[in-house]
Amino acid sequence: MIIFASDNPSIHSRNKVKEMFLENANKSGCIEVICGSMFSGKTEELIRRLKRAQFAKQKIATFKPSIDKRYSDLDVVSHDSHSISCTPIKSPSRMLQIPDDIQVVGIDEAQFFDESIIEVVQELANKRGVRVIIAGLDTDYLGKPFGPMPGLLAIAEDVQKVHAICVRCGALANHSHRLSASKKLVVLGEKDIYEPLCRQCYNKALQEDE
Ligand SMILES: [Zn+2]
C-alpha cells in the first residue's frame, strides 16, 4: 500500500505540533514583526495572533502609541472592526511595567514610537521571556523606511510582509501613496488620504504629483 505524504498521519501531527509551537513558547522570548503598506491587513494579522494566544490561555498585553486617535483609545481596531483591547502609551518604556505573568505583548502602529522601542522589546524578549508581536508600516508616504521599523525588522526572528492590492492595476501593493496636500509625515488616515499602490504605479503617481 502506498501512503501519499499528505495522507500520512504522522506528517499531520508533526505539522500540528509545529503550528502549536508559537502559542506554547511560554518560556523563551521572541520578536515577530508584521509590516506592510496601509490597508495591507497588518492589524488584522496582529489581532489574529493575539486571539490565538488568548485561546491558548496565555496572558497578553497590547499597546499602541497614544498619537493614534482614529478610532478608540482602548482598542486596537482594524479597518474591518475586529478589535482587541489596547493601552495607548506615550513612551515604549511604559511596556516594561507589565505584570510578570504577561506572556505575549502586542504592539500596533509601531512606526510612530521612537528608537527606544528597540531596546524595550529586546529586554522583554531576552530578559523576561515575552513573545513580542509588532505591527507597523515599513515605509512612509515617501517610500522611506519608517521610524524604528528597520531596527525592529533587523532584530526580529520572524518577519511577515503583508500586502494591500494596488488600486490602479490590481497587483500586490507595497506603497502608501498620499493623496492629501499635507506635507506632514504623521497623517493618520483612511482611503481619502492614502491609496495602496504597487512599485510601478507608485513611481508613476510620484511623477504625476510633481
Ligand atoms: Zn499597480
Indicate which residues carry an active-site annotation. 109
CA of 202 to the centre of ligand 1 (A): 7
Cell of 21: 509551537
CA of 163 to the centre of ligand 1 (A): 12
DSSP state of 99: -
d(CA 27, CA 24): 8
CB burial class (10 A; 0-12, 13-18, 19+) of residue 64? buried
This prediction has a pTM of: 0.80
Name the fold adopted by 26-163: Rossmann fold (3.40.50)
CA of 164 to the centre of ligand 1 (A): 11
CA of 207 to the centre of ligand 1 (A): 14
Strand pairing category for 172-173 and 164-165: antiparallel
DSSP state of 188: -
The ranges assigned to domains in the chain are 26-163
How does pLDDT run along the chain (210 residues), one tens digit per residue?
444 444 444 444 544 444 445 555 456 899 999 999 999 999 999 999 999 999 999 999 999 999 755 555 666 666 555 778 899 999 999 999 999 999 999 999 999 999 999 999 999 999 999 999 999 999 998 999 999 999 999 999 999 999 999 999 999 999 999 886 655 555 555 545 889 999 999 999 999 988
Cα of 142 vs its chain's centroid, Å: 20
